[in-house]
Structure 1
Amino acid sequence: MPRIYLETIIKADINTVFDLARDIDLHQQSTSKTKEKAIAGRTSGLIENNETVTWRARHLGVYQTHTSKIINMRKPEEFTDIMLKGTFKSLHHRHIFKEEAGHTLMIDVFDFESPFGIIGKLVNHIFLTRYLTRFLSERNKSIKNTAEL
């Protein structure tokens, strides 16, 4: 199963960064390139533990829906979401926050598995891991820019 690991240093307090990372409205703004829209479950504001959100977005030229659920939350240190329905065979995204010397270290641990067996593994290796890393990095940049205003 591929894993994407990202660290983002943000010059803001941990509570601010934690809330921005779970803000549905900011997520929609930061993913405007893919026209990501919350269409069911929590559709605005701050998502909480045990809540779901269904996203509709255009990825790789095709509109897709993806439902995720927050399965664990320890404010303001971490939260985890998993895919309930969607394109992937599985998806698990752990968000970790650490306060360090006047800034917050935001860590993403993003594990995913594509469908289609060996063909899916090839797509992961050749293309999908890079695409998702870029997608997550852009979203993190938006969180950073908003927090550091």
Structure 2
Amino acid sequence: MSRFEIVTLVLAPPDLLFDTSLSVETHTSSMAGSSERAVAGVTTGLLTLGDQVTWQARHFGLTWRMTSAITAWERPTYFVDEQLKGPFRHWRHEHHFEPAPDADATVMTDVIDFSAPAGPLGHLVDRLVLRRHMTHLINTRNRHIRTTLEH
């Protein structure tokens, strides 16, 4: 299993950042490079506890679908999305929002735990490609959210 953490400072209050992070439209616009879109479940608006959404995107030249659910939700400090069905053996993404100590800002921390399918081969793909790709996607999403809220 792989795990990584990304910390991003955003000049916005925690409640606004929390809601923006749960917006289907914000997510799809942040992932425009992979043509990601919501194709089933909740496909517009803000996600909340128990909501499910099926995402479709293009990565590595292939079209993928992943159904995830919001499995924990404590506005405005924390939520979790987890894969119910999709390309990973395991996917869990924790989103934490904490007021920054010295600014009118929020520290957003993403903690991602995932496992590639296919046993030892998947572990190799994870080490060589997948972890770097997933880190890039989360950083891209966070830059988009920061740019959206800070302008």
Aligned residues: 149
Runs of 4+ deviating beyond 3 Å? none
Determine the C-alpha separation between the residues in 1 that align with 2:42 and 2:56: 13
What are structure 2's unaligned runs of at least 5 residues? none
Determine the C-alpha separation between the residues in 1 that align with 2:38 and 2:136: 21
**Residue aligning to 1:8:** 8
Letter in 2 for 1:119: L
**Residue aligning to 1:139:** 141
Offset at residue 85 of structure 1 (A): 0.4
Determine the C-alpha separation between the residues in 1 that align with 2:84 and 2:59: 18
Equivalence map 1:1-149=2 (5 Å): 1-100=1-100, 101=102, 102-149=104-151
Letter in 2 for 1:74: E
Determine the C-alpha separation between the residues in 1 that align with 2:59 and 2:85: 16
TM-score, length basis structure 1:
0.98
Local SS of the residue matching 1:48: coil
Q: Deviations over 1:93-128 (max 9, x none)?
A: 000000013110000000000011111111111111
Local SS of the residue matching 1:128: helix
Offset at residue 147 of structure 1 (A): 1.1
Question: Cα RMSD (Å) of the superposition?
Answer: 0.6
Determine the C-alpha separation between the residues in 2 that align with 1:24 and 1:4: 23
Q: Deviations over 1:44-101 (max 9, x none)?
A: 1100000000001101110011000000000000000100000000100000000013
